[in-house]
Amino acid sequence: MSLHPDRLFPSDPATREAARRLYALVEKSPIVSPHGHCDPAWFAQNEPFPNPAALFIQPDHYIFRMLYSQGISLESLGIGGAQADPREVWRSFAKHYYLFRGTPTRMWLDYSFETLFGLNEVLNEANADAFYDRIEAKLRTPEFLPRALFDAMGIEVLATTDAATDSLEHHRTIRESGWKGRVIPTFRPDSVIDVEFAGFRENIDKLGAITDEDVSKWAGYLAALRKRRTFFKQMGATATDHGHCTAETADLSKADASALYARVYAGKASEADGRLFAAQMLTEMAGMSVEDGLVMQLHPGSFRNHNAQLYAKFGRDKGADIPTQTDYVRALRPLLSKYGNEPGFTLILFTLDETAYSRELAPLAGHYPCLRLGPAWWFYDSPEGMMRYREQVTETAGFYNTVGFNDDTRAFLSIPARHDVARRVDSAYLGRLVAEHRLEMHEAEELIRDLTTGLVRKAYKLS
């Protein structure tokens, strides 16, 4: 096996040739990664990755959720601190590599194996140890330290996702180290907004302690959040991120919001109160973005930790977040009525509900100056999902109300592979428009550059 140079390009010769020409313009472009979940400690400490299993399998829910779906226990994979021999974890992964046939995960893994480690066979049970030994040997070399890989991958900027109460000590270490790599935080306040979040009240009290604000009161709580946003911005953040269950927003009076917060802080909030509080806080966060200029991202529509037993045993983010239907038109109206026309405010919307692309998201983004559409996200960041995204949103929102691509990954080595897939799909889509005489080639050439780096730099204020 070897990666085919025309993978993901159209089979029609004329369209394929146009896609090749466009892809050649951006194949080696820098990687701008404005949203993801890589650990900043990797780059602060710059220590070797411990082994292939810890590098490829254990941080990546795309991988272990598929294995779990086929009856392979998370304990056997060393997930959640479980003790497992990394070589045996790798052998199990290799034995079941066939499960990933046809998935984007397979493309990302094959790309990483070949381009980084020179492994151009299909991983299987027979060659598992050879793969493991080759990768492990490479990981012991200076070229495979996290910072060296960051530079070799051509990453221009990498944003992490960090809790509102995070000290950002690793980001500070990176800044003070003299290394030129740009790793920036993103402010994610879910742990102090979602009443169902583990340790919610303790998280709020910690927020008060580190900001010296009285968070038992609504005004103090808001002041504490403003202080943390300012700190994140000082540390390089350009964006916030909000992983709410729904896109619902609210615009309560000051008195009603204060009374609601009092119930929330006292632990007396009903289920309806919790939903209303989250809705009100999205509008409050939008107002703060108007004030401080941080770009706001909203990731609604995920039923988090659907597998209750798995959550109880292993905690969050173990591959059991499931998409739900999402309403944007009515849900966002309170926020948009208040801030949707504010100059300088940017709200980037994501979805796990493809039915909302053409019906709701594209028309909204095609009207409100503040709105931009995030790329096909998570379950839909496959070639098919990316193409459906372009086909469904372009007719109403165009290209310039979208924000390019972000990889949203915890798996560091998948970053170049995922961006490569996005560049190929966008080249294929634009190549088809050229072949159908809907775009001139010079327009497509400008567009492919914008879709690769231009739009994301502008939307996230990363220039």
Domain match, 55 and 37 both: no
CATH of the domain at 74: 1.10.2020.10
Which neighbouring-strand residues pair with 242? Answer: 298
Q: What is the pLDDT of residue 314?
A: 67
Give the helix, strand, coil percentages of the chain, each rounded to 5: 55, 5, 40
CATH of the domain at 305: 3.20.20.140
Q: Are 11 and 439 in contact (CB under 8 A)?
A: no
Confidence (pTM): 0.95
* 59 in a structural domain: yes
Helix ranges, 436-463 (H): 441-449, 455-459
- Which stretches of 264-339 are assigned E, i.e. beta strand? 295-298, 302-303, 322-323
Domain match, 45 and 66 both: no
Q: Which of 126, 144, 162 is the last residue of a domain?
A: 144
- Which stretches of 280-422 are assigned E, i.e. beta strand? 295-298, 302-303, 322-323, 347-349, 371-373
* 207 in a structural domain: yes
Domain match, 316 and 365 both: yes
**How many domains, the chain?**
2
* 3 in a structural domain: no
The whole-angstrom distance between residue 433's C-alpha and the CA centroid of its chain comes to 28
Tokens of 253: 């009076």
Going across the sheet that includes 239-242, the strands are 162-163, 187-188, 239-242, 295-298, 347-349, 371-373
* 4 in a structural domain: no
Measured CA to CA in angstroms, residue 93 lies from 3, 61, 67, 98, 108 at distances of: 21, 13, 8, 9, 15
Q: Can you tell me the distance from the alpha carbon of 281 to that of 269, in angstroms, rounded to the nearest whole number?
A: 15
Q: Which of 92, 111, 144 is the last residue of a domain?
A: 144
Q: What is the pLDDT of residue 307?
A: 74
pLDDT digits (tens, 9 = 90+) for 259-299: 999 999 999 999 999 999 999 999 999 999 999 999 999 99
Q: What is the pLDDT of residue 313?
A: 64
pLDDT digits (tens, 9 = 90+) for 236-257: 999 999 999 999 999 999 999 9
Looking only at the bridges linking them, the beta strands covering 187-188 and 162-163 are parallel
pLDDT digits (tens, 9 = 90+) for 54-71: 999 988 888 989 998 999
Domain match, 424 and 444 both: yes
Q: Can you tell me the distance from the alpha carbon of 129 to that of 126, in angstroms, rounded to the nearest whole number?
A: 8
* 435 in a structural domain: yes
Note down the domain range covering 195: 13-49+154-459
Angle at CA 248, nearest 5°, toward 188 and 351?
65
pLDDT digits (tens, 9 = 90+) for 310-361: 677 667 766 667 888 999 999 999 999 999 999 999 999 999 999 999 999 9
Q: What is the pLDDT of residue 339?
A: 98
* 451 in a structural domain: yes
User: Tokens 């959640």, residue?
Assistant: 80
Mean pLDDT for the chain overall:
95
Q: Is the pLDDT of residue 381 over 90?
A: no
Tokens of 423: 């560049």
Domain match, 275 and 239 both: yes
Amino acid at 318: K
Which neighbouring-strand residues pair with 163? Answer: 188
Buried b (16+ CB within 10 A) or exposed e, 250-278: bbbeeeebeebbeebbeeebeeebbbbbb
Domain match, 367 and 266 both: yes
* 1 in a structural domain: no
Q: Can you tell me the distance from the alpha carbon of 25 to that of 446, in angstroms, rounded to the nearest whole number?
A: 10
Q: Is the pLDDT of residue 141 over 70?
A: yes
Domain match, 334 and 235 both: yes
Close Cβ partners of 44 (under 8 Å, ≥ 6 residues apart): 169, 170, 171, 173, 174, 177
* 248 in a structural domain: yes
Domain match, 273 and 325 both: yes
Report which of 113, 159, 180 is spatially closest to residue 414, judged by C-alpha positions.
113
Close Cβ partners of 94 (under 8 Å, ≥ 6 residues apart): 123, 124, 125, 127, 128, 131
Domain match, 28 and 72 both: no
Q: Are 373 and 340 in contact (CB under 8 A)?
A: no
Q: Which of 100, 116, 144 is the last residue of a domain?
A: 144
Q: What is the pLDDT of residue 410?
A: 86
Q: What is the pLDDT of residue 306?
A: 82
Backbone angles phi and psi of 363, in degrees to 5: -65, -40
Amino acid at 72: I
Residue 9 pLDDT level (bands cut at 50, 70, 90):
very high
Question: Which range has highest mean pLDDT (73-87, 139-153, 315-329)?
Answer: 139-153
Q: Can you tell me the distance from the alpha carbon of 252 to that of 281, in angstroms, rounded to the nearest whole number?
A: 10
Domain match, 290 and 402 both: yes
Q: Are 386 and 375 in contact (CB under 8 A)?
A: yes
Domain match, 85 and 126 both: yes
pLDDT digits (tens, 9 = 90+) for 181-231: 999 999 999 999 999 999 999 999 999 999 999 999 999 999 999 999 999
Residue 242: enclosing H or E segment and its boundaries? strand 239-242
Q: Is the pLDDT of residue 401 over 90?
A: yes
Domain match, 111 and 245 both: no
The whole-angstrom distance between residue 338's C-alpha and the CA centroid of its chain comes to 27
Q: Can you tell me the distance from the alpha carbon of 383 to that of 404, in angstroms, rounded to the nearest whole number?
A: 15
Amino acid at 246: T
